[in-house]
Structure 1
Amino acid sequence: MKQKQISILGCGWLGFPLAKHFVAHNYIVKGSTTSTEKVTTLQEANIQPYVFSLGMTNNDQVFTDFLADSNVLVINFPPKRIPNILEIYQQQIEAILPFIHEKQHVIFVSSTSVYQNTNDWVTEDIENVPEKVSGKAVLAVENILKKHLQERLTILRFAGLFGYDRVPGRFFANKTEVANGKAPINMIHQDDCIGLIDAIIDQNVWGEIINGCSDEHPLREVFYVLAAKKEGLVPPTFKDTDEVSFKKISNLKSKTLLNYSYKHPDPLVFVK
């Protein structure tokens, strides 16, 4: 049997452990980075390294080789926090599109920032009205990919990322008058991000949009105060108001469609 192969576009906080996961499962793994300094790290993990920057690298052969013979491409890099984020992020995705071959499946690691605050649950079929420019950029790229790839694409919208060296206690430490203390939060652990991607590929679930989020939604002020205290940091203080603006990300589709059980269903476990 021919060995399975996967290309992972973006080997950062999530992409690198994701690549190692597939190496451990006997995949040939190609991983991209924008830094030559990471080449040795990737090689030592048995990941074939490719160095390029979308929108800046003009080398068709690099893109062709990166995608050649891979069954699946995982697009896993967020939009940069720059003034023209909306245009640049779309240009970056459009740079790789011509090199995705017609039999290749794609997972786009998206974000729940595409959802507006509804003060209620949100599911994958809600009409998206992003409130921040980053969410608008991500939604624009989703639409580009859907138009180009159609049923070969699955979009995975992750909630707030945490786990390992991404420590929530640092997020709001020392801050004062933080808003929305009474709002429920939406988070997902790195292990579950990898688990969901693996489940999609293993079960050949394509043409879908799926939310990734922990089962439990603790209140913002409870979670971040505990998180800061656990790290020995000054906990944040929150505005004394009953006004809240939030959304609660439903993960029901991920659990029913993929038969997935979250490894870390309650983020509070990590901060108590």
Structure 2
Amino acid sequence: MNIFIIGSGWLALPLAEHLNNRAHQITVTTTSTEKSERVNKLGFKALVYQMGELFPDDMLDADVVVFANTCKDVSAYRSTVKNWPRTFKPQVIYTSTTSVYQDNGQDHDEESPSINPEHPTYLIEQTLKPLKANIIRLSGLVGPGFMRQDLIVNSRHPGRFFRKSLAVRNPKNQVNLVHRDDAIGVIISVIDSQLNKQIINASADNHPTKGEYYSYMAKQLDGTILDTTQETSTSGKTINNLKSKTIYTYQHSDVWQMSF
């Protein structure tokens, strides 16, 4: 298939690599000519594109379009949908976030009514509805960095979280994380299953408290001691991943056993 990935960052490039290894034709976008040249050296076709602009002609041949960037500009997405050609009907996937669910102490599945209605990512989800987009709500992303020639991206190791303050915010709330390998796995499973208009949570199985988990990971990484005595000001939440398991088997289901 011809797959167009809007984005070329920490999630998008490894996703492109996985899809390329499955013999798909991959195009990614960058926001600068300099980065597009570096990405081209990796063997990927890269186009300079800003959200909201008219589509490159090459995009209109795509069988799948994956929004895997960090843009939270709702107006840019509205322009994208407004400019979407009526005859262009690829499978669409948007990588959203479980931050759209309220911190109300509940376990949230995809039918949860407890949504933050003004969250920009939720507004983008609503904007993409006319495209029959699949919405993949990712918990906090963690995983290794990567180095490809002169393109270097740092790891997202939970032991490095809270390094500025050395204090864990809301230490009694639960952890909701997903490894990048599993985020990619869910995206690919949605593509393989040819789904449309689905909302899917991607999250590891277990949810220890933030104080317990992040202090342990920081100490294991390099001996850093975090303060876990601060008051917890919100009710927190947990993310239910059962729907995603109907199409995908997690590689890193246990947050304690993840590799970075």
Residues 49 and 220 (structure 1), Cα distance of their counterparts in 2 relative to 1, 3 Å cut: same
Give the structure 1 partner of residue 198 of structure 2.
208
Residues 128 and 263 (structure 1), Cα distance of their counterparts in 2 relative to 1, 3 Å cut: same
The code of the aligned residue for 2:103 comes to: N
Q: Could you tell me whether the CA contact under 8 Å between 1:174 and 1:234 is conserved in 2?
A: no
The code of the aligned residue for 1:265 comes to: S
Distance in 1, matches of 2:190 and 2:259, equals 29
> Secondary structure at 1:99's aligned position in 2?
coil
1:93 to 40, 54, 77: 77
Worse-superposed segment, 43-52 or 136-145: 43-52
2:213 to 223, 241, 250: 223
Residues 241 and 52 (structure 1), Cα distance of their counterparts in 2 relative to 1, 3 Å cut: closer
The code of the aligned residue for 2:27 comes to: K
Residues 145 and 261 (structure 1), Cα distance of their counterparts in 2 relative to 1, 3 Å cut: same
Give the structure 2 partner of residue 247 of structure 1.
237
Aligned residues: 248
> Secondary structure at 1:193's aligned position in 2?
helix
1:26 to 19, 23, 31: 23
- Name the Cα RMSD after superposition: 2.2
Distance in 2, matches of 1:67 and 1:128, equals 36
1:158 to 134, 138, 143: 138
Distance in 1, matches of 2:214 and 2:177, equals 12
Give the structure 2 partner of residue 141 of structure 1.
124
Percent identity between the two aligned chains: 33
Residues 208 and 232 (structure 1), Cα distance of their counterparts in 2 relative to 1, 3 Å cut: same
The code of the aligned residue for 2:169 comes to: A
What's the CA shift for 1:243? 6.6
Give the structure 2 partner of residue 189 of structure 1.
179
1:116 to 84, 102, 116: 102
Q: Please give the TM-score of this superposition, normalised by the length of structure 2.
A: 0.88
Divergent runs of 4+, >6 A: none
Distance in 2, matches of 1:161 and 1:242, equals 22
Q: Could you tell me whether the CA contact under 8 Å between 1:179 and 1:239 is conserved in 2?
A: no
Distance in 1, matches of 2:242 and 2:51, equals 34
2:222 is equivalent to residue 232 of structure 1: yes
Distance in 2, matches of 1:241 and 1:271, equals 30
The code of the aligned residue for 1:141 comes to: I
Distance in 2, matches of 1:40 and 1:73, equals 21
Residues 271 and 12 (structure 1), Cα distance of their counterparts in 2 relative to 1, 3 Å cut: closer
Deviation string for 1:22-62 (max 9, x for gaps)?
Answer: 1111111110011222223322332111112224x5xx3xx
Unmatched segments (≥5 aa) in structure 2: 145-154
Q: Could you tell me whether the CA contact under 8 Å between 2:7 and 2:29 is conserved in 1?
A: yes
Give the structure 2 partner of residue 35 of structure 1.
32
> Secondary structure at 1:252's aligned position in 2?
coil
